[in-house]
A and B are shown apart, each in its own frame.
Chain A
Amino acid sequence: MTLSGFLADAREFLPILAEGVGVTVALTLCALVLATALGVVWALLRTSGNRWLEAPVRWLVNVIRGIPIIVQLFYIYFVLPDLGIDLSAFQAGVIGLGVAYSAYMGEVFRAGILAVDHGTIEAAESLGLSRLRILTRVVLPQAVRIVLPPFGNNLIMLLKDSSQASVITVAEISTQSRLIASSTFKNQEVFTLAALLYLCLSIPLILLVARLEKRFGRR
């Protein structure tokens, strides 16, 4: 593979791969929103102090963590239609990745909430703040600072794991590159491009997380 030949191939393949980049970004962002929202719910339930809420959520999280993402995607895309729930590949990808990552996000958020200095919560109680205010004004703002670096790491992993949605035909970067490779047999060029595109997305995120760690890690 010569450089000029590679650049010519790149010019030809990039427009198709660019569509994949758009899908990868959209899939990652949608799954991130779902994973974050569900993760917050899991974390709040698990730190609620109510045994009847904590135990089921603990088991749910363990089950989600215990099943490979790829199997969860198969299940949502191929089994749910048998139960009358028809989803597009993209929808199934968002739900599968979002639910799978909600387990990891939930654990990160729970650790963050537990790491908040209990003295500040007592101070807030002693000042007569309501439970909701204590949560939103005292606990969560402190937890967010603690949680940002591991949250960023999960985001990077989610971006890469979005490639698993190719097994259910979501047209993201990996799917598009395999399609091109199988029709042109230019495996080396195509998959090098795919790797470079992922790096273009993930390296900025990695640098961002490193900065967040520097900024919040010391407090």
Chain B
Amino acid sequence: MIEIDNLQKSFGANQVLNGITMRVDEGEVVCVIGPSGSGKSTLLRCVNGLEGYQGGTVRVAGQQVDRTRPEIRAVRRQVSMVFQRFNLFPHRTALGNIIEAPIFALGEARASAEAHGRALLARVGLAGREGAWPSELSGGQQQRVAIARALAMRPRAVLFDEPTSALDPELVGEVLAVMRDLARDGMTMMVVTHEMSFAREVADRVVFMDAGRVVEAGAAAAVLGAPREPRTQDFLRRVLQPLG
């Protein structure tokens, strides 16, 4: 579904991604972990065409991702994105946020978009909150609306960019629960996260990145339970025992 081959990306002289090769197959959940500044979020943004890149290729459902070409919009309709800071449209209600792109990017009729939107709000546990403004919702609720908004495009894959990092600790669980549900339903997901327990439980595969490279990748249990690379071991030790 998502094929990344030898991806090179730099901001000026700063090489952020240095030959990333990985793939996410249909129905797979892949978690990308690593220290901050390792290029995880940039990698995700390249998959959606929010960032350009200098070398290598990114393909989604067989289509090349190139943000300079008009076809990028067709690619973006295949992969939706959920952001760390939710990025809801503050001037639209919960339902308004969800139906915006189906109506104005896909040309769906308002009535069917609204029916689908209501069903999605119910799915993320927010039935009855259709008319709520983003400013009236908690961070966890906003992120669940953002997930519903991403799903409204009927995407073939969803990208999550640290979806719980901006949340108060007590609100993390409700968002992870929704993501767990999605994974169970077979949605293809690429998740940049610091939630190791989520990765261990939900991910089919885990990719550990450091300094713009993939250091280690494999089955979640293997990478998280018995990492081979010293850098992975070191990172996991620090993340899992922050006080140790």
**Cβ-defined partner of B100 (8 Å) among A119, A137, A145, A219:** A137
CB within 8 Å of A: which B106-152 residues: 106, 135, 146, 149-150
The 8 Å CB contact of A128, one of B74, B87, B90, is: B74
Q: How far is the CA of A129 from the CA of B72 in the complex (A)?
A: 10
Please, how many angstroms separate the alpha-carbon atoms of A117 and B135 in the complex?
Answer: 14
- For the complex, is B11 an interface residue (Cβ under 8 Å from A)? no
Whether B105 lies near A133 (C-beta < 8 A) is: yes
* Surface stretch bound by A, among B14-22, B78-86, B184-192, B196-204: B78-86
Residues of B within 8 A of A125 (CB): 49-50, 76
Chain B residues near A1 (CB-CB < 8 A): none
Across the interface, name the chain B residue whose C-beta is closest to A141.
Answer: B91
- Contact of B104 with A219 in the complex, beta carbons under 8 Å: no
Point out the residues of chain B lying under 8 angstroms from A117, CB to CB.
87, 90
Contact A142 B91 (CB under 8 A): yes
Question: Which residues of chain A from 72 to 130 have any CB-CB distance to chain B below 8 Å in the complex?
Answer: 117, 119-120, 122-130
Residue on B nearest A121 in the bound complex, by CB: B87
Q: Report A145 CB to chain B, min CB distance, Å.
A: 7
Number of interface residues of A (CB under 8 A): 19
Query: A122 → chain B, closest Cβ, in Å?
Result: 6
Interface of A is mostly: helix
A126 touches B76 (CB 8 A): yes
Q: Which residue of A lies closest to B146 (CB)?
A: A123
**A138 an interface residue at 8 Å Cβ cutoff?**
yes
The interface residues of chain A lying within 8 Å CB-to-CB of B86 are 119
Q: Is B205 positioned at the interface, with any CB of A under 8 Å from its CB?
A: no
- Knowing A137-B100, A142-B90, A219-B90 are in contact, say whether A127-B76 is a contact too (CB < 8 A): yes
Question: Bound state CA distance, A137 and B92, in angstroms?
Answer: 10
- Verify A126–B80 contact, CB threshold 8 A: yes
Given contacts A127-B76, A128-B105, contact A122 B100 (CB under 8 A): no
**Which partner residue on chain A sits nearest B100 by CB separation?**
A137
How many residue pairs, one in A and one in B, have C-beta atoms under 8 Å apart? Answer: 67
Contacts of B150 in A (CB 8 A): 127
Residues of chain B at interface, number, CB under 8 A: 27
Bound Cα distance from A122 to B77, whole angstroms: 14
Q: Are B104 and A137 in contact (CB under 8 A)?
A: yes
> Does A130 contact B105, Cβ atoms closer than 8 Å?
yes
The reply to whether A123 and B76 form a contact with Cβ atoms under 8 Å apart is no
A122 to B49, CA, bound (A): 10
Give the Cβ gap from B89 to chain A, nearest Cβ, in Å: 6
Is the beta-carbon distance between A129 and B101 smaller than 8 angstroms?
yes
B39-51 vs A, CB cutoff 8 Å, 1 = contact: the mask equals: 0000000001110
A219: chain B residues at CB < 8 Å are 90, 135
Q: Are A126 and B88 in contact (CB under 8 A)?
A: no
- B56 → A minimal CB distance (Å): 21
Q: Does A123 lie within 8 Å of B104, measured CB to CB?
A: no
CA distance A129 to B107 in the complex (A): 11
CA distance A142 to B74 in the complex (A): 26
A179–B64 CA distance with the chains assembled, in angstroms:
74
Residues of A contacting B149 in the complex (Cβ-Cβ under 8 angstroms): 123, 127
Distance of A119 Cα from B105 Cα, bound (Å): 18
Q: Is B33 close to A, CB under 8 A?
A: no
Cβ–Cβ contact B105 & A129, under 8 A:
yes
Closest chain B residue to A142, Cβ basis:
B91
CA distance A141 to B96 in the complex (A): 13
Assembly CA distance A123 to B98 (angstroms): 12
A140 to chain B, nearest CB (A): 10
Q: Would you mind naming 13 contact pairs between A and B with Cβ atoms under 8 Å apart?
A: A119-B85, A119-B86, A120-B89, A122-B87, A123-B146, A125-B76, A126-B50, A126-B81, A127-B77, A129-B100, A130-B105, A133-B105, A137-B104
Residues of A within 8 A of B (CB): 117, 119-120, 122-130, 133, 137-138, 141-142, 145, 219
Identify 15 new A-B residue pairs, CB closer than 8 A, beyond the known A125-B76, A129-B104, A130-B105.
A119-B87, A122-B83, A122-B87, A123-B87, A123-B89, A126-B81, A127-B77, A127-B80, A127-B101, A128-B106, A129-B101, A138-B89, A141-B91, A142-B89, A219-B90
